[in-house]
Chains A and B, each alone.
Chain A
Amino acid sequence: MVLALVSHPENCTGCRFCEMICSLYHEGVVNTKKARLRVLKPDLLRDIPLVCTQCLTCGDSCCIQACPEMAISVVDGLVTIDEGLCSGCGNCKKACPYGVIWMDKLAHKCDLCGGDPMCVKFCPSGALTFEEADEASYTSMIATWRDE
C-alpha cells in the first residue's frame, strides 16, 4: 500500500482551483493547460478530476510502454518521468488517455509535489484526497472515468 492521489467526482464542484494551483506551483505561472491533472466536464452534472499517481494500468495506451527512452517507470509506487532520460518525443502524452501529461520540451506529470500535493490542500470539497489506496479502490476510480 502506498499513498496515492484519489479522485472523488461525487464531491467535485468543478472549480478547477487544483488546475490553477498545480501550474502555479510547478511552473510558476497560472495556466490550466500546464496542470498535471485536469477536471473533465462532460456535461452539466459531471465534473471529474483526472489524476495519475499509481500506475492506472492503461492497457494499450500505456505511457510506460509508449516511451522509447524507458524514461517512465513506477518508483516507490509513483509513476515517474525521469526528465534526464526524456527526449521530448511526446509519445507518452499521445498515449495518456486522461490527458494528465503535458509537454514543453520535456514531458511532465504529477510528482505529488514531493509528498504534499497542493491540489489536495486546495480542495475543500474532498474531490481529491491523498490516501492509502488499494488496487480495488483505484480500479473502481478508473472505471468511473472509462465510462466517459
Chain B
Amino acid sequence: MPEAAQERARPGAWVRDSPWLLAAVLLVAFAILNAAIQANFFTPFSLALNVTTVLPLMLIAVGQTYVVLGGSIDLSLGAIVSLVNVVAVEIITALGTGPGAIGAGLVAGLATGLACGMLNGLIVSLFRLPPIVTTFATGVIFGGLALIVLPQAGGSLPPAYYLVYAQGFLGLTLPIWLVVLLIGGVWLVGGTRFNRHLLAVGSNRQAAFQTGLPVRRIVFASHAAAGLLAAMAALCILGVAGAGDPLMGQAFTLGSVSAVVLGGTALAGGWGGPAGSILGACILVLINNIIFFANIDFVYQSVVQSAIILAALAAGVFASRRRR
C-alpha cells in the first residue's frame, strides 16, 4: 500500500492513522467528569480498585479485538468466561486447598479457555460458517457445560487465591501488574508479522489468500488467543469473587464488542487495534462509575447508561469514519 505509506510520511498523518485517538479523548473527558463527582477518584486506593474492576473486561476486549481484526467475531467469550470460572473452582475444590491445587486449577482453566477458542476457530476457519451464528451456538454449548459443572453459584476458593491477587508485590496489586503485562504483550504482538497478516486477512480475505497467507491458520489463531484471554479474565474474576458462578460471564460478550467499537476498531475487520479496546474498556467502567456516583435514581440508571454508551459509540464510529 504505497498510498498509505505516503500518507504516513506526511506530518500530522498519524492522527488519521490512530484509531484509538477518539477513545483517548473520551477517556480523559469521562475521567475528569468522574473525578468531579467522586472526590477520592485520584487516590491510589480508588485507582487500584478501578483497575481491578476493569481488568477482566480489558482482557476479553483485547481477545475480541484480534478476532474482529481478522474479520470474524466471537459471541461465545462470555460463556467461555463462565465455563473457565466453574472448571477452575471445581478443580481447586476437588484437589484441596494447597498451592498445588491452585496451580492445577489455573492450568486447567487456561486449557479450557484455549480449547473453547480453538473449537471456535476450527469451525469458523475450516468450515467457513458465519461466525456470528456459529459462536452464538458454541456459546450456548459452553454455557450448558458450565451449568453441568456447577449448577448454582457456589464453591469456595482457598483464601490464598484472593489474598495474593489483592496484595500483589512491590506495593502494587496483582491486577495492576497484569494490566502492565497486558499492555506490554499487546505492544509486542503489534510489531509481529502475525499482526500484519491478521490485518491483511481482515481487510481483504481474498487478496490475503491470493498473496499466499495461511488465512485459515491466522483466523484460527485469533480465535484461540481470544479463548485464552477470556480464560485469564475468568481467573481474575475469581480473584475478586472467591467463588464460582456458572452465569458469571454473560454480560461480557456484548461488553467486549462495545469496548472494541469504542476503541475505533472497525467491526468489518482489518482496521484498528487492541490499544483502543483497552481504552474502550476503561470508558465503559468509568461510565458505570459516573452513573453510580451521580446519585441517579436506580430506576433511571440503566436508560442513562445505555444512552451514554450509544452516544459514545456513535461518536466513535463517526469520527473514525471521517479519519479513514
A binds B: no
Using a CB–CB cutoff of 8 Å, the interface residues on chain A facing chain B are none
Using a CB–CB cutoff of 8 Å, the interface residues on chain B facing chain A are none
